[in-house]
């Protein structure tokens, strides 16, 4: 009799322990599910912020803006090439380059979209890029013709315009067969421009006026590191946006970089 009572009590304890174990497992499972949901939400928010940053980088370093950035950098590094002592003295030239190499081609692309020649401004289909490449190439050739025949424009900048023009037409030719990143071409060209300027047209450092903060001396090697970092960030941004594959970026960097040195050989 006592053995039966003890056995029943033991069975009851086992049942209670089993119930407790089930409750604990259920709570742990719910906690894991909750943690997983939180991690997914955090990942989603992080990826969303990365995409926003990628879009911003893609716009700020749009390939059509690179020639304007090259001009501004050259004016900062060595304004004496233009017969000036500071950047502000050549604002009209900056506006001319900006309008000829970015504003007018951008308006042309918008017009093409309105007329139905392209379906989106991103031009994900490489065949849609043929028209914009040809139109932009014409403006680039016109810009180079004006620069090289103008005695007030230094040979250094004519080299960079020619290099960008050659790169653009190479991109047009390659685009017929396979996709290539215009952003990578632009950043590769900017990197080539900085190296050529550092070797041939600079004094090792240059002043940058930061307003109330004052003037700081920037070393050319520091600028080179910054441009390399930016080139990598722009390439990563294009991958995040799934606009290109790695091979498109590698080819673009190579073309943009090499054509600047080719233009240097042709004009110097």
Q: How confident is the model at residue 110 (pLDDT cuts 50, 70, 90)?
A: confident
pTM for the full predicted model:
0.82
Nearest Cα neighbor of 217 from 195, 201, 199, 202 is 202
Model confidence band, residue 18 (pLDDT cutoffs 50, 70, 90):
low
Of residues 89 and 21, more confidence is placed in: 89
**pLDDT band with cut points at 50, 70 and 90 for residue 263:** very high
Higher pLDDT pick, 62 / 41? 62
So what's the pLDDT on residue 25?
56
Most confident of the ranges 7-11, 12-16, 130-134:
130-134
Higher pLDDT, 50 or 125: 50
pLDDT of residue 215: 85
Does position 31 have pLDDT exceeding 90, yes or no? no
pLDDT at 23: 57
In angstroms, the Cα distances linking 208 to 12, 95, 212 are 82, 20, 12
Per-residue pLDDT at 40 exceeds 60: no
Residue 101 DSSP code: I
- What dihedral angle (degrees, nearest 10) is formed by the CA atoms of 137, 141, 146, 147? 90
- Tell me the per-residue pLDDT of 159-217, one tens digit each, with 9 for 90 and over: 999 999 999 999 999 998 888 999 999 999 999 999 999 999 988 898 888 777 888 89
* Average pLDDT for the chain: 84
**Residue 216 backbone class (left: φ over 0; alpha: ψ -120 to 50; beta: rest):** beta
CA 62 – CA 55 distance, rounded (Å): 10
Classify each residue of 5-14 as buried b or exposed e, where b means 16 or more C-beta atoms within 10 Å of its C-beta.
eeeeeeeeee
What local confidence, expressed as pLDDT, does residue 35 receive? 57
Q: How much is the pLDDT for 222? A: 95
pLDDT at position 122 over 60: yes
User: Each residue of 53-75: pLDDT tens digit?
Assistant: 999 999 999 999 999 999 999 99
Q: How far apart are CA 38 and CA 68, in angstroms?
A: 44
In tens, the pLDDT along 220-235 reads 999 999 999 999 999 9
Token output for 74: 């050259």
> Using alpha carbons only, what angle is made at residue 101 by residues 58 and 127, rounded to the nearest 5 degrees?
65
pLDDT of residue 73: 94
Contact 255, 166 (CB under 8 A): no
Model pLDDT for residues 134-159, shown as the tens digit of each residue:
889 999 999 999 999 988 899 999 99
């Amino acid at each position: 009799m006592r053995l039966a009572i003890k056995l029943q009590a033991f069975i009851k304890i086992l049942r209670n322990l089993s119930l407790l174990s089930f409750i604990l497992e259920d709570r742990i499972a719910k906690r894991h599910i909750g943690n997983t949901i939180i991690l997914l939400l955090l990942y989603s928010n992080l990826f969303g912020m990365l995409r926003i940053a990628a879009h911003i980088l893609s716009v700020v370093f749009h390939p059509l803006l690179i020639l304007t950035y090259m001009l501004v950098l050259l004016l900062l590094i060595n304004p004496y090439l233009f017969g000036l002592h500071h950047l502000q003295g050549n604002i009209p030239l900056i506006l001319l380059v900006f309008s000829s190499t970015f504003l007018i081609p951008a308006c042309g692309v918008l017009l093409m979209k309105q007329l139905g020649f392209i379906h989106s401004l991103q031009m994900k289909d490489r065949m849609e890029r043929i028209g914009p490449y040809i139109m932009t190439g014409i403006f680039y050739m016109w810009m180079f013709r004006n620069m090289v025949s103008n005695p007030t424009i230094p040979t250094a900048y004519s080299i960079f315009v020619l290099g960008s023009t050659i790169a653009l037409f190479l991109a047009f030719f390659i685009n017929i067969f396979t996709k290539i990143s215009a952003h990578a071409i632009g950043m590769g060209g900017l990197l080539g421009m900085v190296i050529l300027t550092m070797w041939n047209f600079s004094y090792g450092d240059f002043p940058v006026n930061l307003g109330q903060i004052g003037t700081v001396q920037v070393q050319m090697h520091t600028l080179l590191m910054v441009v390399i970092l930016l080139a990598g960030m722009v390439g990563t941004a294009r991958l995040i946006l799934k606009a290109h594959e790695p091979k498109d970026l590698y080819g673009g960097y190579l073309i943009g970089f090499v054509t600047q040195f080719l233009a240097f050989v042709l004009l110097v």
